[in-house]
């Protein structure tokens, strides 16, 4: 029997729930790992990706505050790699503990993952990816004025204002063969954290570039490259909904990619919130006939594996 190869994309709420301290984030990951451990059995190969928006934004603030000739601030793409390692370390500890508690002899490993993008991507002229903490409109505008327009803040789905940075489209993932080799040998792999480290490569060099790749698009590209059978995007809601927060709100249970494209044209999904998840699900479902994407909450992850929960997306 062929094993199910699944890429799981964890939302930021699986890591940080308000308190940004290391202790609080590790506690959140212990709870997350318990749900992930329920997904792991002898017939499942699991690759886990995760966001890093709050963490990389906070790290950038720390870098700026400590900037000096002796301790120069690191560039954004380097901060992405730093948060990959930090969150991966916390997560693999939590997963190993959860599996040991269930008597499962498996281990997780983190791969610092580089994701190739195009240097001429339109995203570099139109930053949209939110990172860091939320601010009021007044606070955001004061920060933009204080930096002479070098940083950009935008309103984020009714939740407040956040700094936004370029979010280019992933073209390839340099480590996908390594990741695939590890998972096919039975290991649980944590990869493409925070969307991966954005790089531009040519025949002679590999150069990091200041951006944050959307983790859902990175998860989709990784799922395509390792020929995963399913992509599961875990977020803060049980289902994708149309007319969200309106009296006519309706949860989507089983939907085709074509139906979702129609809803996108109707502006049903917020750009900085649900829209990238929906677009990633469409892309994966259409990459190969039979591919299935699911968008749901962490708490319903196991039920989603069984086809009993979430928004299931398939090509018509």
Whether residues 101 and 147 share a domain: the answer is no
Q: How far is CA 81 from the centre of its chain?
A: 14
Indicate the SS3 state at residue 122: helix
Whether residues 133 and 231 share a domain: the answer is no
Report d(CA 228, CA 217) in Å as an integer.
14
Report d(CA 122, CA 58) in Å as an integer.
26
Instruction: Judge whether 234 lies within some domain.
Output: yes
- Residue 133 belongs to domain spanning: 128-165
Q: pLDDT of 21-77, one tens digit each?
A: 999 999 999 999 999 998 887 668 999 999 988 898 889 889 988 999 999 999 999
Whether residues 294 and 218 share a domain: the answer is yes
Whether 16 and 78 have beta carbons less than 8 Å apart is answered as no
Number of domains in the chain: 2
Whether residues 70 and 209 share a domain: the answer is yes
What is the number of residues in the chain? Answer: 316
Report, as residue numbers or ranges, the catalytic residues.
12-13, 129, 215, 277
Q: Mean per-residue pLDDT for 140-144?
A: 87
Q: Mean per-residue pLDDT for 175-182?
A: 97
**Is residue 113 pLDDT above 90, yes or no?**
yes
Instruction: Judge whether 123 lies within some domain.
Output: no
pTM of the full structure:
0.90
Whether residues 112 and 137 share a domain: the answer is no
Instruction: Judge whether 184 lies within some domain.
Output: yes
Whether residues 152 and 262 share a domain: the answer is no
Whether residues 140 and 195 share a domain: the answer is no
Q: Which residue reads 């009021």 in tokens?
A: 136
The helix or strand, by DSSP H or E, that contains position 59, with its residue range, turns out to be helix 53-65
Whether residues 50 and 97 share a domain: the answer is yes
Q: Mean per-residue pLDDT for 286-296?
A: 91
Backbone torsion region of residue 104, taken as left when φ is above 0, otherwise alpha when ψ lies between -120 and 50, otherwise beta = beta
């Amino acid at each position: 029997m062929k094993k199910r190869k699944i890429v799981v994309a964890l939302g930021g709420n699986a890591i940080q729930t308000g308190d940004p301290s290391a202790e609080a984030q590790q506690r959140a990951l212990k709870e997350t790992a318990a749900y992930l451990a329920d997904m792991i059995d002898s017939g499942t190969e699991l690759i886990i990706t995760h966001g890093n928006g709050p963490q990389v934004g906070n790290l950038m603030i720390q870098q700026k505050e400590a900037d000096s000739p002796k301790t120069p601030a690191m560039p954004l793409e380097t901060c992405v790699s730093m948060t990959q390692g930090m969150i991966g370390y916390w997560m693999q500890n939590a997963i190993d503990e959860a599996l040991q508690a269930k008597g499962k002899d498996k281990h997780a490993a983190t791969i610092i993952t580089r994701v190739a993008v195009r240097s001429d991507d339109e995203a570099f002229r139109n930053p949209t990816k939110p990172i860091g903490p939320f601010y009021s409109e007044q606070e955001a505008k004061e920060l933009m004025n204080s930096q002479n327009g070098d940083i950009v803040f935008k309103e984020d789905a009714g939740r407040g204002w956040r700094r936004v940075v370029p979010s280019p489209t992933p073209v390839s993932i340099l480590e996908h063969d390594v990741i695939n080799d590890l998972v096919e040998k039975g290991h649980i792999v944590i990869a493409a954290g925070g969307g991966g480290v954005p790089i531009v490569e040519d025949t002679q060099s590999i150069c990091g570039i200041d951006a944050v790749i959307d983790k859902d698009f990175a998860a989709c590209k990784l799922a395509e490259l390792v020929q995963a059978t399913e992509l599961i995007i875990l977020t803060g809601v049980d289902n994708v909904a149309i007319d969200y927060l309106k009296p006519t709100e309706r949860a989507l249970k089983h939907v085709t990619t074509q139906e979702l494209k129609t809803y996108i044209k109707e502006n049903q999904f917020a750009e900085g919130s649900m829209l990238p998840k929906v677009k990633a699900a469409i892309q994966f479902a259409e990459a190969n006939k039979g591919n299935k994407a699911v968008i749901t909450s962490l708490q319903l992850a196991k039920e989603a594996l069984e086809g009993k929960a979430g928004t299931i997306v398939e090509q018509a």
